Amino acid sequence: MSQAEKEEFLQALWQIIVSFVDLGFGVHPLQEVCGKDAGTVSDTAQAQADAVCLDDPKENHNKDDMRP
């Protein structure tokens, strides 16, 4: 399998995964119209997949967490 075929396969697989997540956590259109999703779901799974986390993983954001 060539490198291009591998990349195409992985992109197709990722789209399938994103679609399943979107189906599981998506918002029904009536909820969007009624405003019942305010603050709970702001982006689709595709937008979440394209997001970049800028937090430093070494920084402890949870001050109550007593783990080292």
Residue 57 has pLDDT above 90, yes or no: no
Radius of gyration of the chain (CA): 18
Q: In whole angstroms, give the CA distance from residue 44 to residue 23.
A: 10
Q: In whole angstroms, give the CA distance from residue 20 to residue 25.
A: 9
- Please name the residue that has the structure tokens 């986390």: 53
Residue 44 pLDDT: 61
Residue 68 has pLDDT above 60, yes or no: no
pLDDT digits (tens, 9 = 90+) for 3-55: 999 999 999 999 999 888 888 877 666 666 676 555 554 556 556 655 655 56
Residue 19 pLDDT: 87
